Chain A
Amino acid sequence: MAIDVAAVRRSFPILDRELDGHRLVYLDSAASSLTPEPVLDAMDRYYRWSRSNVNRGVYPLAEEATDLYEGARTTLAGFLDADPVGVVFTKNATEACNLLAYGFVRAHLGPDDVLLSTVMEHHANLVPFTQAAAAVGAEVRHVPITPDGLLDLDAAAELLADGRVTFAAFVHVSNVLGTINDVERLTRMVKDANDRAIVHVDGAQAAPHLPVSFRDLGIDSYAIPGHKMLGPTGIGALVARPELLERMEPFLTGGDMIRDVTLTGATWNDVPHRFEAGTPMIAEAAGLAAAVGVLEGYGMAAVRSHERDLTAQLLDALGTVAGVTVHGPKDVDLRGGAVSFALDGIHPHDVGAMLGSRGGCVRVGHHCTKPLMRCLDVAATTRASSYVYNDVDDLEPLVDGLEAAAAFFAR
């Protein structure tokens, strides 16, 4: 079933907003997605109807809250084809990466180990691991990109050849280039080079937009943010093989994550609860489960196909604007809906201001990918990114705004 954008839009109240008389043209879903009614309702219902803490009370209301929270874990696991025991709720994708960096890399790696990363990582999937590597004295190697913005897998093969890479962390879909990386293939390469290696993937731009099977990817862990997949802010997850979680040290300690506590020590609860210290984000979990329900209602294959078609039209539209250079793959089968570009001679800040004055929301800046900006030899880019509520009628304001910026800032 194709996405019925008009129907989809009706469930996103914010799309009724006008800004200075302009319709809201939201092309920044790669930063954060909009929120549909069912997600708002689910959170509202928790606060109005089921409000209580989880895992503690024996009264029915508390059981209801616990069911909501644990139900969200099962729902998310189902959505990603993963084991619910391997799902740890975190605040966002960044925290999921940090949990792994602290719980696994810092605890288990040493000076003989090598970490594999790439030059296209978001800081969230880079800094926690470079910091951890520095702390344990491990080397970090970076897979470069080809001129069309794909991971250079020949170079990766060389980096893996000595069999010393024991941990790899790379992104599924680039938030700047849009590139969809061949996770299965790179994972196989890493594991063929060293069968003890752990592979972690940043799914922040993939889980919201593509059908994802954690099992089929063959990886060990996957980080996702709720707020980019129609869910609320304040919740994300580390989705992992339970065996990996078993090997990890707790990152935050305190209530709920313990089995027994004495005045001087403690033993840890089972996974995944071992990694969820204190009162969790209950309303947000309910909201995230509702978001998954909405996405499953559309069908992820339909979401992908809608965005693929729209991205093709976006690339065509950008091609009509003089002075636009698109970064990343031009083949829409190899890319997601985040499209970064330069407008010749005009700084992205100025482009963003012009679009913003016309109701257009795009992201300008380095997109938390400074090493990639250096590779592309740019300081910043303008990025338009689409989702289920975008359609061709959003492309015209973008093109008009870019042409207006070119005229306004012409020297």
Chain B
Amino acid sequence: MSMEDLYQEIILDHYRKPKNRAPELADEAVHVHHSNPLCGDEMDLRIRVLDDRLDAVVFDGEGCSISQAAASAMTQAVVGRELKDALDLAEDFRRMMHGDDPARPDDLGDGIAFTGVAKFPVRVKCALLGWMALRDAIQTFERGASAHTVTHEE
């Protein structure tokens, strides 16, 4: 399988110049930390919520290009969305990673460039890390909490 199947130019752009990458966020509502000990990926995700919408989303962390680029594309796709809508989009991305056609390709924005990752099963969890962190952050917010730590074992 060629490098280009996996690493679309859009992915490399997000990897080289990540969007919404920051170690903190003013007035953050929730901060979650997700790690994947198997590949050593670490992700801090922070969200600010205004009127039930994602007013701001920033991530920070370490990991392979796929995990970092997917998180960057994710932040762009979800900022401004209602929480429920963002959860729905996260689910769409997750299904896409398992080989299904996405129901909302336009809403996924640059996230659509990650379709090819589904062909590399070991990399799927890398692409999902940011999205799973987002889902967790929203659910943590809905529970009324402000922080959560999750370790993904495989």
Contact = CB atoms under 8 A, between A and B. Distances in A.
Interface of A: 20, 347-350, 353-354, 356-357, 365-366, 370, 373, 378-380, 408-409, 411
Nearest to A356: B1
Interface residues of B, number: 23
Given A349-B126, A350-B65, A411-B16, A380 B39 contact: yes
Given A380-B40, A409-B15, A349 B66 contact: yes
Nearest to A19: B1
B134 to A, nearest CB: 21
Nearest to A364: B39
B6 interface: yes
Nearest to A411: B16
Contacts, number: 51
5 contacts: A350-B66, A353-B7, A357-B3, A380-B39, A408-B12
B67 to A, nearest CB: 8
Contacts of A353: 3, 6-7, 120, 123
Contacts of B15: 409, 411
Contact of A347 (B1, B16, B63): B63
Interface string B19-53: 00000000000000000011111100000000000
B100 to A, nearest CB: 24
Contacts of A366: 37-38, 40
Given A379-B40, A380-B39, A347 B64 contact: yes
Nearest to A357: B3
Interface in B58-86: 62-66
A353 B121 CA distance: 13
Contacts of B120: 353
B3 A349 contact: no
A349 B124 CA distance: 12
A349 B37 contact: no
Nearest to B16: A411
Contact of A379 (B7, B39, B126): B39
A345 to B, nearest CB: 11
A365 B38 contact: yes
A353 B7 CA distance: 10
A373 B37 CA distance: 11
A350 B7 CA distance: 10
Interface string B134-153: 00000000000000000000
B1 A20 contact: yes
B114 to A, nearest CB: 14
B2 A349 contact: no
Contacts of B41: 379
Which 8 A-B residue pairs are closest in the complex by CB-CB distance? A379-B40, A347-B64, A349-B64, A357-B3, A380-B40, A411-B16, A350-B65, A350-B64
Contacts of B42: 379
Nearest to B18: A411
A104 to B, nearest CB: 30
B53 to A, nearest CB: 32
B87 to A, nearest CB: 28
A409 B65 contact: yes
A409 B15 CA distance: 8
A408 B64 CA distance: 13
A394 to B, nearest CB: 20
Contact of B3 (A347, A354, A365): A354
Contacts of A348: 64
